[in-house]
């Protein structure tokens, strides 16, 4: 049994019921739109965020029809942002196949992303789940701000630790935090619990993103992600940031000049990757990732011990040890 299958054991039925629920939400009577939505459903990922939703609901109470709505809302938002991200990042690949941007170009990709986002918001309104709407809207705001801040910093290359963590807290961690908070909100009316789960999810989400940043400095064969992709996009992530912070002024200027002017040069990218490895950037990033993961697990330990808590702890460990 794989780690993911083991994690899903307490929520097997919920995941099974979720599949037709989510598939139905990704439908349209407009033929072209229907084709694109069907493509997105067929190329979906592991659906980690619905797992966070269902396990969080079971941690604090019992799953119900609103837990399904919560999971679908989160996954629709995640799907919409991935479609938009590929436009922003000019990416032609997603999960080992062509992206929507690659197959249908930018205009349709933007419109499809907007449509999926609207579908999720309408689901919450139709069910009068205004607390869900608040959580999802906050996530949309945070993710947009994080992406814009990253674009700004990639232009000027003037990033520091505080800014880096603000970017990933908003851009990535906010959605995992929302998944845990909305899951709890589907099974409990205690707003203090919702916020506590949000904070736990935020720490888990930061650990998740640091793991992604580490992938960029590892071999493509292992993780199926283009090596040095962040460097090509002028994104200074934690491993490289550590090296910049521990370089003298001339070396720092040289590194920044290479990123700014030769970020597409494969020889330069390889040089920077080796530099990060040699100077301890990956070791430092791994250490910080473990700190945030441990903090998230510590937060979970304040809840009653049950199968959902065990699976959530295993899920926290999985997101920091995954191979892709």
In a domain? residue 203: yes
In a domain? residue 7: no
In a domain? residue 295: yes
CA distances from 146 to 152, 154, 167, 256, 291 (A): 10, 12, 5, 22, 22
Whole-model pTM over 0.95: no
pLDDT at 223 over 60: no
Q: Looking at residues 192-217, what average pLDDT do you find?
A: 96
pLDDT at 222 over 60: no
Q: Looking at residues 47-53, what average pLDDT do you find?
A: 96
Considering all CA atoms of the chain, what is the largest pairwise distance in Å, rounded to the nearest integer?
60
Q: Residues 93, 236, 45, 317: is their CA dihedral positive or negative? A: positive
pLDDT at 3 over 70: yes
At residue 227, the pLDDT reads 66
Give the Cα separation of 153 and 167 in Å (integer): 10
Q: Can you give the residue range of the structural domain that contains 197?
A: 12-321
- Close Cβ partners of 127 (under 8 Å, ≥ 6 residues apart): 66, 69
In a domain? residue 6: no
At residue 237, the pLDDT reads 94
CA distances from 292 to 4, 30, 256, 298 (A): 21, 44, 28, 10
DSSP SS3 for 221: helix
Q: Give the CA angle between residues 264, 111, 66 to the nearest 5°.
A: 110
Percent of the chain with pLDDT over 90: 82
Query: Long-range contacts for 145-150 (Cβ within 8 Å, ≥24 apart)?
Result: 145/170, 146/170, 146/171, 146/172, 146/174, 147/85, 147/88, 147/171, 150/235
Give the Cα separation of 4 and 102 in Å (integer): 30
Give the Cα separation of 147 and 195 in Å (integer): 23
* CATH (domain of 184): 1.10.600.10
For 140-154, how does the pLDDT look when each residue is reduced to its tens digit (9 = 90+)?
999 999 999 998 988
For 165-175, how does the pLDDT look when each residue is reduced to its tens digit (9 = 90+)?
999 999 999 99
Q: How many structural domains comprise the chain?
A: 1
- 226: confidence class by pLDDT, cuts 50, 70, 90: very low
In a domain? residue 5: no
For 106-138, how does the pLDDT look when each residue is reduced to its tens digit (9 = 90+)?
999 999 999 999 999 999 999 999 999 999 999
pLDDT at 225 over 60: no
CA distances from 32 to 37, 206, 214, 313 (A): 9, 37, 38, 41
Give the Cα separation of 252 and 157 in Å (integer): 11
In a domain? residue 2: no
For 54-107, how does the pLDDT look when each residue is reduced to its tens digit (9 = 90+)?
999 999 999 999 999 999 999 999 999 999 999 988 888 888 789 999 999 999
Percent of the chain with pLDDT over 70: 97
Look-up: residue for tokens 């993710």? 143
In a domain? residue 133: yes
At residue 221, the pLDDT reads 45
In a domain? residue 111: yes
For 173-183, how does the pLDDT look when each residue is reduced to its tens digit (9 = 90+)?
999 999 999 99
At residue 124, the pLDDT reads 96
């Amino acid at each position: 049994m794989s780690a993911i299958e083991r994690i899903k054991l307490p929520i097997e039925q919920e995941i099974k019921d979720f599949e037709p629920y989510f598939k139905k939400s990704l439908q349209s009577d407009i033929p072209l739109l229907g084709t694109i939505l069907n493509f997105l459903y067929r190329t979906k990922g592991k659906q980690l965020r619905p797992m966070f939703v269902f396990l969080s609901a079971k941690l604090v109470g019992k799953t119900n029809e609103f837990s399904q709505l919560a999971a679908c809302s989160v996954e629709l938002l995640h799907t919409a942002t991935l479609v938009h991200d590929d436009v922003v990042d000019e990416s032609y690949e997603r999960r080992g196949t062509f992206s929507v941007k690659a197959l249908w170009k930018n205009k349709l990709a933007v419109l499809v992303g907007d449509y999926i986002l609207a579908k999720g918001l309408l689901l919450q309104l139709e069910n009068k789940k205004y607390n869900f709407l608040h959580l999802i809207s906050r996530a949309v705001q945070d993710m947009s701000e994080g992406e814009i801040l990253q674009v700004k910093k990639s232009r000027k290359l003037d990033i520091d630790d505080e800014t880096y963590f603000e970017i990933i807290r908003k851009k990535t961690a906010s959605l995992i935090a929302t998944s845990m908070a909305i899951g709890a909100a589907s099974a409990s009316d205690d707003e203090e619990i919702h916020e506590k789960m949000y904070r736990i999810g935020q720490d888990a989400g930061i650990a998740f993103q640091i793991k992604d940043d580490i992938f960029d400095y590892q071999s493509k064969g292992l993780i199926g992600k283009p090596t040095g992709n962040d460097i090509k996009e002028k994104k200074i992530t934690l491993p490289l940031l550590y090296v910049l912070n521990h370089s003298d002024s001339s070396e720092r200027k040289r590194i920044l000049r290479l990123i700014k002017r030769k970020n597409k040069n494969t020889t330069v990218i390889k040089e920077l990757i080796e530099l990060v490895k040699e100077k301890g950037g990956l070791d430092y990033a791994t250490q910080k990732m473990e700190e945030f993961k441990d903090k998230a697990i510590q937060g979970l330990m304040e809840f009653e011990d049950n199968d959902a808590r065990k699976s959530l702890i295993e899920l926290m460990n999985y997101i920091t040890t995954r191979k892709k």
